[in-house]
Amino acid sequence: MTVFWQILIDGFAISSLYALGATGFALIFGVSGVLNLSHGALMVAAVVAAWAAGNDLHVGPYAGAAIGVAVGFLASLATYFAVVRTLQRSRKIREEEKEIFILTATLLWGIMIQELIAYIFTNNAKTVAPIVNGVVMIAGVRTPANEIFTAIVCWLTIGLLWLVVNRTRAGKAVLAASMNPRGVTLLGIELSQVYVVVWAIYGVLVGVAGVLLGMFLGVSSYSVGPLTASAFAIVVLGGLGSVSGALIAAYVVGYLETLTAYLISPAYRTIPALLLLVAVMYVRPRGLLGRR
């Protein structure tokens, strides 16, 4: 019975983290049709910033986390202005090829960030000092308080995102742009401003998800590829452009991985999720709740 609770609790924490990471990825795609393959690199940049602030500047965990989120935010805006907007406005590339170019360019951008981090801070794994310490007993399972903290912050952030998107003027414009970009333009809203808002929101999400990941599991510059791949996989499984689909998919993948790790072997951790993904692609090419 303990194993059951352990899987339930561990899986919940991991899945919440996946959900937060994938939400931003899904948001960017839903609004601007951009698949940002530098996603993992932005997350790692946030973690390393929080880690370096704690280790080299000796700031407290709260200030470190804030610095990490700020770096995620700035890196996200830099990605938009330097890479994505340049390509979207380019006259040399045909419209139908822009998607492929954005994929390639964000991939290269991600490698640049990864290599720069590896150069300055080495490839070693980095763990951010957690904000909460200690363990709590839940249903007979010794659970690190940090795990509960992670899940709570993830859901608070997702809740906040929901409020911003549904209750504020800028957020409503974002929602409208994801439904019909041309309609938004006709209403007199500048689409490029909507994009800036989306990338800013995405930056905060990436920063928070990154810092939490850094406290929970730790990352190295090698994590860049797998992090992008898992966000990509979750978002596709849920259906591109659907945030609620991504949330469901995050829990499916998170629990499937935890179950495999506990019941079979940690070495096989990612395999069932990958096979599930291929199977879903085969029977339901648009993902669980996809609309594009």
Partner 1 sequence: MGALSTARVLLVALAVIVLASFLPLWVSGYILGLLTLAYYFGVFSMAWDLLFGFAGEVNFGPTFLIGTGAYTAGILDNLYRPPIWVCLAAGALAAVIGGVVLALPALRVRGPYFGLTTLVAVLILQNFIVVAAGLTGGEIGLTVPDVISISDTTNYEIALWFMAASGAILFALSRSPVGLILQASGQDAVQAGALGFNVTKHKLAAFIISAFFSGLAGALLVFYMGTASVGTLVDITVGVQIIIAVVLGGRRTILGGVLGSVFLIAMSEALRPLGDLSSFVVSAMALVVVLAFPSGLLGLLTRTKETA
Using CB under 8 A as the criterion, which residues of the chain lie in contact with partner 1 when the complex forms?
Answer: 35, 83, 86-87, 90-94, 96, 99-101, 103-105, 107-109, 111-112, 115-116, 118-119, 225, 229, 232-233, 236, 240, 267-268, 270-271, 274-275, 277-278, 281-282, 285-287
DSSP 288: S
Question: Helix 98-121 and helix 39-55: axis angle, to 10°?
Answer: 20
User: Which of 90, 192 has the CB closer to partner 1?
Assistant: 90
User: Which of 58, 92 has the CB closer to partner 1?
Assistant: 92
Q: At its nearest, how many Å lie between partner 1 and the CB of residue 55?
A: 20
The residues facing 126 across adjacent strands are: 219
Q: At its nearest, how many Å lie between partner 1 and the CB of residue 71?
A: 18
User: Which of 36, 157 has the CB closer to partner 1?
Assistant: 36
CA 261 – CA 140 distance, rounded (Å): 20
Q: At its nearest, how many Å lie between partner 1 and the CB of residue 8?
A: 26
Q: At its nearest, how many Å lie between partner 1 and the CB of residue 268?
A: 7
Contact between 227 and 43 under an 8 Å Cβ cutoff? The reply is yes
Q: At its nearest, how many Å lie between partner 1 and the CB of residue 154?
A: 24
User: Which of 108, 125 has the CB closer to partner 1?
Assistant: 108
Q: At its nearest, how many Å lie between partner 1 and the CB of residue 260?
A: 11
User: Which of 18, 149 has the CB closer to partner 1?
Assistant: 18
CA 122 – CA 99 distance, rounded (Å): 33
- Could you give the dihedral angle defined by the CA atoms of residues 273, 277, 280 and 284, in that order, rounded to the nearest 10 degrees? 150
* First CA to last CA distance, the chain: 42
Contacts of 84 (CB under 8 A, 6+ apart): 32, 34, 36, 102, 105, 106, 199
Q: State how far the alpha carbon of 217 is from the alpha carbons of 35, 81, 130, 141, in Å.
A: 25, 31, 10, 19
User: Which of 60, 285 has the CB closer to partner 1?
Assistant: 285
